[in-house]
Amino acid sequence: MRAIFLDRDGVICENRSDHVKSWGEFRFLPGAKNSLAALSRLGLPIIVITNQAIIGRGMVPASVVDDIHWRMVAEVEAHGGRIDRVMYCPHRPEDRCGCRKPEPGMLLQVADEMGIDLAQSYLVGDAATDLVAGRRVGCQTFLVLTGRGLQQLLPTFRSVDQFTITRNLMGATTHILKAELHVADKLDLWSPTYVRRRSRPLSVASSF
């Protein structure tokens, strides 16, 4: 089984220099909900993997991050999309854990629990650390230029062997739709005519 892995900040929502510490600070990026609706119709698991060191730094408790994620998923579902699972690493960089990106721990954990073939999966991020984690397990990776993407171009070129640059999540979604549906460029890839929809339950979990 293949899957679509998405970073959160800078891919789905705005990346804040002071971090997203509450639902009131969460802002969907333009086109993100439409992208998730289109991806949802493919029938592949959609999994968010995100570093959330604000927990380890004591800025917010894990319950606040969980609340943000439940509300995010509810908004996505109200717009016709879905997110099947949210995984986050609560550790600080200095903790040197195996789950904080660029380490691939979260990807490996989800793959083991859900039977996902990582080498046939997709990963979308806005930083070199996202793409390094993806490439370590063989994912096809996309760097979006939203969030930190523009600033992360050079670090990504230096540390990742293969990746595709797209303007935003909508651009990455178009690439994934083309790959999965094997259709010509002239077709309306975003139309439900060419994709089928399947619902899955949400699972929200931290990775330790």
The alpha carbon torsion through 76, 79, 84, 87 (nearest 10 deg) reads: -10
Q: Are 146 and 168 contacting, i.e. CB atoms less than 8 angstroms apart?
A: yes
Q: Are 121 and 3 contacting, i.e. CB atoms less than 8 angstroms apart?
A: yes
Q: Exposed, middle or buried: residue 175 (CB in 10 Å: 0-12, 13-18, 19+)?
A: middle
Q: Which residue has the tokens 């789905």?
A: 12
Q: Give yes or no: 112 in active site.
A: no
Instruction: Tell me which of 7, 84, 126, 130 is the catalytic residue.
Output: 7
Structure tokens at 121: 């999966």
Q: Give yes or no: 188 in active site.
A: no
Instruction: Tell me which of 9, 84, 126, 130 is the catalytic residue.
Output: 9
For the annotated catalytic residues, the residue numbers are 7, 9
